[in-house]
Amino acid sequence: NAGVTQTPKFRILKIGQSMTLQCTQDMNHNYMYWYRQDPGMGLKLIYYSVGAGITDKGEVPNGYNVSRSTTEDFPLRLELAAPSQTSVYFCASSYTRTGNNEQYFGPGTRLTVT
Amino acid sequence: GENVEQHPSTLSVQEGDSAVIKCTYSDSASNYFPWYKQELGKGPQLIIDIRSNVGEKKDQRIAVTLNKTAKHFSLHITETQPEDSAVYFCAAIDTGGFKTIFGAGTRLFVKA
């Protein structure tokens, strides 16, 4: 199993540009999450999904959009990038919300908006 | 909003000493408390967790304690080794199971 994979690893965007961060998991997990991690801070939940076709907002959803057309993929879309979106983005997945809700994280995407 | 406070932000110990990291949460509905270790350039990885109906859990050199009344939980690492050097995050998850609130992290340095 590759686990959770994310692409790209690094990206530099100009203000106003758009991009999609890709996330794929091969563990057949129903639940998937997007977080951002700012320097010296904990992770903040952007969006999450409980299954294909179902998504919901987390703590900091403004400026982002997601979709979940398959169990495996959960892309994060940035429209009109702003410097405040400079961060490291982590995708995660988990099997179930009850019991041991261990979240498996991808390696992250470091995004800089200038 | 709900939050999780984590202390200290930085901790430096000698190899072989113990390390303790403390967290306080605000959401009374939280009932699951994982601890994650993040090594440089990698995503966080679960190292231990505890549920609200348990007061303490141990896994080899790592233990977690929970005081639900005080809304405190702590990570204890004994006999620290240089490979324990990393950033550690505590988190609290509500009964819904979706919304994880992370602490700001503790950077642990273990000096050989």
Q: How many residues does chain A have?
A: 114
- Residues of B whose CB is below 8 A from A45: 99-100
Distance CA A94, CA A33 (A): 9
Determine phi and psi for A83, rounding to 5 degrees: -55, -30
Cis peptide before A61 (omega within 30 of 0): no
Chain A CB within 8 Å of residue B53 CB: no
Q: Where do we find the tokens 């303790």?
A: B20
* Distances from the Cα of B17 to the Cα of A43, B28, B34, B61, B63, angstroms: 28, 33, 23, 11, 14
Distance CA B27, CA A38 (A): 23
* Distances from the Cα of B60 to the Cα of A37, B37, B48, angstroms: 30, 16, 11
Report A:5-64 residues touching B (Cβ under 8 A): 31, 33, 40-45, 48, 50, 56, 58-59
| Substitution target from A9, A23, A30, A43 for chain B, most B beta carbons within 10 A | A43
Task: State which residue of chain A sits closest to B5, comparing Cα positions.
Answer: A42
* Residue A100 binned pLDDT confidence (cut-offs 50, 70, 90): low
Distance CA A21, CA B42 (A): 17
Mean pLDDT score of chain A = 92
Cis peptide before A107 (omega within 30 of 0): no
Per-residue pLDDT, B59? 94
pLDDT in tens, B17-43: 999 999 999 988 888 899 999 998 889
Within 10 A of A94 (CB to CB), how many other CB atoms are there? 23
Q: What angle (nearest 5°) sits at the alpha carbon of residue B83, between those of residues A35 and B65?
A: 65
Task: State which residue of chain A sits closest to B106, comparing Cα positions.
Answer: A40
pLDDT in tens, A13-35: 999 999 999 999 999 999 999 99
